[in-house]
C-alpha cells in the first residue's frame, strides 16, 4: 500500500541525508510504529508519505514514495488528501476554524462532502475521540491534549485510507492516550484503516501496534518486523523492555499484563525484604515561589480554583492531571505571563510580572509546550549566540549546554529543520543557560527519546541539587517517577492530591509508572530499584 524505493532526502543546506530508506513496504490495514532516537528521520519519513517532503520542505530527494499507486513526487499533499490524513507534532499549527465542530467539518467542506454525511461524520469523530463536550469551544482555548485530539478527529472525518500521526500521544494524559490508541486500533481492525505513527513513548503504544520500523539514522537501513522483534534490538527502550533484559526474559513483554505474569515469582521474593518505601525528600531549603488562593478563568470558564501551594529551593515539583485540568495555566501564572487572576503569585517575594525582562530570565525561566515559540534565529548556532548575549553569558555557554543535553553540536541547521525533540533541546538550553532560580517546564519530554530523557533528568537533578526550584507539568509518568520529589494532581482546576512523589504515583492507577504497576503493591519506581531489592533478597 505504501512503498519507499531508493529514497534519499536532504534538507536545504544539509550536508548529510536526513532520511535514507532503500526499501520499505507498509501493508494495508497495518498499525505501524516508526521508532528511532531523536533526529533519525522519523518525522521526515512520515511527511514523505503525504508529500510534505519534498513539496513543502524543499531540499533534494531521490527515489520514490507511492501510496496506493500514487507517487508523492507527482502528487502534492492536496492531491493526496483523500488517501492520506496527516497530523503533525504541533497539532494547533493546522487549525483554520474557530470552534472544534467547525474544525472537524473544514476538511470535508474542501472535499465537497454532502451536508448530511458531514453531520454524521462529525458526530462519529466527536464520540470516537471523546470531544462531544468540547464541540462549541474555541480551538484557541483548548489545552494541548485537547488540541491533539481535535486535530486527529478533524483528519478522520475525511475518511482517509491512511492515517499518519507524528507523536500523537505526546500531549495526552495517560487515560486519554489509551483512549486514542484504542480508538485507532479499532479503526485498524474493524475498518481496515492503515495507521503509521511515530512515537517516543513506546511504553504507551507497543501493546497496540502490529509492525515496527526502527530508523537507526545515517546510511544504515531501517529494521522492520513485529514490535517485539524490533524493540528487542533497539538501544533506546522503555522501562518494561529494560526490565525484560535485566531479568533475561525473551521475547520481552510488551504490556504490563504480560510483565506482571512473568514477575510473579519476583514479587514473592520481594515480600521478604521490601516494606513500604520511604518518600524522596529534597534538601529542606526555604520556599522560593508560592501561590495563594489563585483563581483563573478563560471565557468565564474556570481554569484554576483557589489553588494554594509553595515550591522550595532545590525541590522538583511535578504537576499532573487530565488534559485541561489547569497545569499550563498554573505554570504561566508562576512565569508572570498568565494574565488576569484572583489571588496572589510570588517569586522570591515579589510578583513575577513586575520583574524587569533582563532580570526575569535569571529569576524565572519557562519552556512552553511549543518550544519553537522561544526560537527566532535562522540557525542553531545563532540561536545559542543570541541567548548568550541577551543573558550576558560568556560566548559558547548555551551551545555547550545544548551539546550536553542533546549529544550533538550547535551547527548551522535552521531550527525549523530540527525534529521536535531537537527543538525542545535547543529551547531548554536557551532557558537553562542563565541558571534561573525558578525553572518551569511544560511537557519537557515531548519528542525526546529515552537517552535524551536520561540526559535531561541528570541535568535537572544537578540544578535541583544546587538550589534551583523546578516545576514540571507532565504526562510522562516515567520521568516524574525518576525526577520529582513531590507531586500535585489537578482536577477541574483544583488540587486533589499533594504529597511525596513515590506515595502519590504508586497509589494512582492512572499516573503510576510501568515498574510500579508490575511490582505493586511494592512501591518500586525503576528497574534499578528492582534489581537492588532482588539483590537484597538473595543476601538474606
pLDDT digits 0-9 by tens, 360-393: 888 999 999 888 889 989 999 999 999 999 889 9
CATH assignment of the domain containing 10: 3.40.50.300
d(CA 432, CA 424): 12
Mean pLDDT of the region 460-489: 93
The domain boundary, picked from 234, 250, 277, lies at 234
Q: How many domains does the chain have?
A: 2
The confidence score (pLDDT) of residue 279 equals 46
What percent of the chain is predicted at pLDDT more than 90? 57
Statement to judge: residues 229 and 303 lie in one domain = no
Q: Are residues 304 and 161 in the same domain?
A: no
Percent helix, percent strand, percent coil in the chain, to nearest 5? 40, 20, 35
Residue 309 confidence (pLDDT): 95
Judgement on whether residues 51 and 161 belong to the same structural domain of the protein: yes
pLDDT (0 to 100) of residue 273 = 54
Domain boundary among 212, 234, 256: 234
* Residues 304, 429 within the same domain: yes
Classify burial at 376, counting beta carbons within 10 Å of its beta carbon; exposed 0-12, middle 13-18, buried 19 or more: exposed
- Is position 539 within any domain? no
Bridge partners (DSSP) listed for residue 487: 318, 499
Please give the mean pLDDT across all residues of the chain: 89
Q: Say if residue 289's pLDDT is above 90.
A: yes
Q: Say whether both 483 and 383 belong to one domain.
A: yes
Provide φ and ψ at 407, rounded to 5°.
70, 25
Is there a single domain that holds both residue 226 and residue 366?
no
pLDDT in tens, 8-37: 999 887 788 989 999 999 999 999 999 998
Residue 28 lies in a domain: yes
Q: How far apart are CA 202 and CA 219, in angstroms?
A: 24
Residue 280's pLDDT band, with cuts at 50, 70 and 90, is: very low
Residues 180 and 305 in one domain: no
SS3 annotation, 349-383: CECHHHCCHHHHHHHEEEECCCHHHHCCCCCHHHH
Of 181 and 355, the one with more pLDDT: 181
Same-domain pairing of 437 and 354: yes
CA dihedral 364, 367, 368, 373 (to 10 degrees): 110
Same domain, 125 and 36: yes
Q: Looking at the structure, do residues 430 and 335 belong to the same domain, yes or no?
A: yes
Mean pLDDT, rounded, for 456-470: 91
| 451 and 360, same domain (yes or no) | yes
- Cell digits of residue 298: 478563560
User: Is 282 among the domain residues?
Assistant: no
pLDDT tens digits, 250-279: 888 999 999 999 999 999 888 765 544 444
pLDDT digits (tens, 9 = 90+) for 41-64: 999 999 999 999 999 988 899 999
**In-domain check, residue 266:** no
Give the structural domain span for 309.
Answer: 287-523
Q: pLDDT confidence of 285, banded at 50, 70, 90?
A: low
Say whether both 411 and 501 belong to one domain. yes
Residue 3 pLDDT greater than 90, yes or no: yes
- The 10s digit of each residue's pLDDT in 206-242 is 999 999 999 988 778 899 999 989 988 888 889 999 9
Task: Quick: pLDDT tens for 294-321.
Answer: 999 987 889 999 999 999 999 999 999 9
Query: Is the C-alpha dihedral spanning 162, 164, 170, 171 positive or negative?
Result: negative
Predicted confidence at residue 236, as pLDDT, reads 83
Residue 246 lies in a domain: no
Give the strand pairing for 162-166 and 342-347: unpaired
Query: Which band of pLDDT confidence, cut at 50, 70 and 90, is reported for residue 170?
Result: confident
Q: Which of 84-93, 120-129, 322-331 has the lowest mean pLDDT?
A: 84-93
User: How far is Cα 133 from Cα 503, in angstroms, rounded to an integer?
Assistant: 33
pLDDT at 268: 86
Q: Evaluate whether residue 130 is within a structural domain.
A: yes
- What tens digit of pLDDT does each residue of 388-444 get? 998 899 999 999 999 988 888 888 888 888 877 888 889 999 999 998 999 999 999
Amino acid at each position: 500500500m505504501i512503498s519507499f524505493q531508493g529514497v534519499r532526502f536532504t534538507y536545504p543546506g544539509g550536508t548529510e541525508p536526513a532520511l535514507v530508506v532503500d526499501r520499505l513496504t507498509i501493508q494495508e490495514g497495518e498499525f505501524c510504529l516508526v521508532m528511532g532516537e531523536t533526529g533519525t528521520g522519523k518525522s521526515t519519513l512520515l511527511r514523505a508519505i503525504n508529500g510534505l517532503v519534498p513539496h513543502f520542505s524543499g531540499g533534494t530527494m531521490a527515489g520514490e514514495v507511492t501510496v496506493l499507486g500514487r507517487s508523492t513526487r507527482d502528487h502534492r499533499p492536496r492531491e493526496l488528501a483523500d488517501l492520506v490524513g496527516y497530523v503533525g507534532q504541533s497539532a494547533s499549527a493546522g487549525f483554520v476554524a474557530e470552534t472544534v465542530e467547525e474544525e472537524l467539518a473544514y476538511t470535508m467542506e474542501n472535499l465537497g462532502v454532502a451536508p448530511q454525511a458531514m453531520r454524521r461524520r462529525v458526530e462519529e469523530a466527536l464520540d470516537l475521540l471523546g470531544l462531544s463536550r468540547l464541540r462549541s469551544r474555541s480551538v484557541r482555548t483548548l489545552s494541548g491534549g485537547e488540541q491533539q485530539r481535535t486535530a486527529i478527529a478533524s483528519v478522520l472525518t475525511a475518511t482517509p485510507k491512511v492515517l499518519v500521526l507524528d507523536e500523537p500521544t505526546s500531549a495526552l494524559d495517560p487515560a486519554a492516550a489509551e483512549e486514542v490508541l484504542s480508538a485507532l486500533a479499532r479503526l485498524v481492525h474493524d475498518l481496515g484503516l492503515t495507521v503509521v505513527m511515530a512515537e517516543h513513548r513506546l511504553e504507551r503504544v507497543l501493546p497496540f501496534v502490529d509492525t515496527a520500523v526502527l530508523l537507526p539514522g545515517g546510511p544504515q537501513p531501517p529494521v522492520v518486523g513485529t514490535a517485539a522483534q524490533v524493540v528487542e534490538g533497539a538501544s533506546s527502550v522503555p522501562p518494561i523492555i529494560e526490565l525484560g533484559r535485566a531479568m533475561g526474559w525473551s521475547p520481552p513483554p510488551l504490556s504490563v499484563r504480560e510483565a506482571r505474569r512473568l514477575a510473579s515469582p519476583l514479587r514473592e521474593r520481594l515480600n521478604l525484604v521490601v516494606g513500604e518505601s520511604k518518600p524522596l525528600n529534597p534538601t529542606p531549603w526555604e520556599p522560593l515561589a508560592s501561590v495563594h488562593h489563585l483563581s483563573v478563568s478563560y471565557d468565564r470558564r474556570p481554569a484554576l480554583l483557589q489553588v494554594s501551594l509553595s515550591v522550595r529551593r532545590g525541590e522538583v515539583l511535578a504537576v499532573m492531571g487530565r488534559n485541561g485540568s489547569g497545569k499550563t495555566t498554573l505554570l504561566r501564572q508562576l512565569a508572570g505571563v498568565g494574565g488576569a487572576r484572583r489571588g496572589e503569585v510570588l517569586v522570591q517575594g515579589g510578583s513575577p510580572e513586575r520583574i524587569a525582562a533582563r532580570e526575569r530570565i535569571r529569576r524565572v525561566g519557562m519552556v512552553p509546550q511549543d518550544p519553537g515559540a522561544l526560537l527566532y534565529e535562522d540557525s542553531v548556532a545563532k540561536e545559542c549566540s543570541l541567548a548568550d548575549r541577551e543573558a550576558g553569558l560568556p560566548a559558547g555557554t548555551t551551545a555547550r549546554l545544548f551539546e550536553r543535553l542533546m549529544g550533538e553540536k550547535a551547527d548551522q541547521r535552521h531550527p525549523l529543520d530540527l525534529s521536535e525533540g531537537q527543538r525542545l533541546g535547543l529551547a531548554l538550553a536557551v532557558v537553562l543557560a542563565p541558571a534561573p532560580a525558578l525553572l518551569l517546564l511544560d511537557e519537557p519530554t515531548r519528542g525526546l527519546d529515552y537517552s535524551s530523557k536520561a540526559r535531561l533528568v541528570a541535568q535537572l537533578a544537578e540544578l535541583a541539587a544546587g538550589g534551583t526550584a523546578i516545576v514540571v507539568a507532565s504526562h510522562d509518568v516515567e520521568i516524574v517517577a525518576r525526577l520529582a520529589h513531590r507531586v500535585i494532581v489537578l482536577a477541574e482546576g483544583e488540587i486533589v492530591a499533594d504529597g511525596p512523589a513515590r506515595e502519590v504515583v504508586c497509589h494512582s492507577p492512572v499516573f503510576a509508572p510501568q515498574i510500579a504497576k508490575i511490582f505493586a503493591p511494592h512501591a518500586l519506581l525503576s528497574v534499578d530499584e528492582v534489581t537492588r531489592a532482588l539483590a537484597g533478597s538473595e543476601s538474606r
